A = this chain, B = another copy of it.
Amino acid sequence: MPVTRAVPAAGPRETIRQASTAQILAAAERVFAARGFHGATMAQIAREAGLPKANLHYYFGTKERLYRAVLEGILSLWLDRAAAWITPARDPGTALAGYVRAKMADSRDRPEASRIFAGEVLAGAPRIRDYLRIELRRRVAAHAAVIEGWIAAGLMDPVAPAPLFFAIWAMTQTYADFAAKIEVVLDSRPIGPAEFAIATETVVRLVLQGCGIRKPREGDRT
């Protein structure tokens, strides 16, 4: 019967598979984030997941395929995040402030995911280069067109779109990627909610004011 696969109706088999893979992926995200691709070991991921090592290989085949699976989840989240905010229907103040705040929230909520991606790109993105070349470039081109539209409509200063996005990504992800540095500078405490709010608004201010957008809309939070 046309049973939709979207919300699987949990037969024991399927449930086991989903539970195991989810457990493995979560453990892999933690370990890969902490030690990088080469530094992470399958044995450590297995221990963290509470499963024997051979089980990981049963579900994911190789270390590299497991790593890729972790990365793909992260990327699709981020790409959708941008697509949801950077649309021509919005005014630039709402869109950019909303996007920055959403991205900052991601850095707070899933810092490990961000770190894995950062490590991959740091090494030259050897394992996801093709994916980026197709998917990321396409999306950035679309967002750049939206920015150009806002500029043409006089809604913001003429700012080069690509560097603007690089700057936004850099500023927002730095709170996840370089948390160790930030903690050290801020007195060895993990950053608290109040400081995080200040940081968010600092980034929003730099972007909006830096782009010559006059009215940041405070109501548009994630």
Q: Which residues of A contact B (CB under 8 A)?
A: 34-39, 115, 118-119, 121-125, 129, 132-133, 136-137, 140, 159-160, 162-167, 169-171, 173-175, 177-178, 180-182, 184-188, 198-199, 202-203, 205-207, 209-212
Per DSSP, chain A at the interface is: helix
**Copies of this protein in the complex:** 2
- 13 chain-A/chain-B pairs, Cβ below 8 angstroms: A36-B122, A115-B122, A121-B177, A121-B181, A122-B180, A124-B180, A159-B205, A163-B199, A163-B203, A166-B174, A206-B206, A206-B210, A206-B211
- Decide: A162 near B140, CB < 8 A? Known: A122-B122, A180-B129, A212-B209: no
Alpha-carbon separation in the docked complex, A115 to B23 (Å)? 31
**Interface contacts beyond A118-B118, A169-B174, A206-B207: sample of 12 additional A-B pairs, CB < 8 Å, sorted by A:** A34-B123, A34-B124, A121-B177, A129-B180, A133-B184, A162-B186, A164-B202, A165-B185, A170-B174, A205-B210, A206-B206, A206-B211
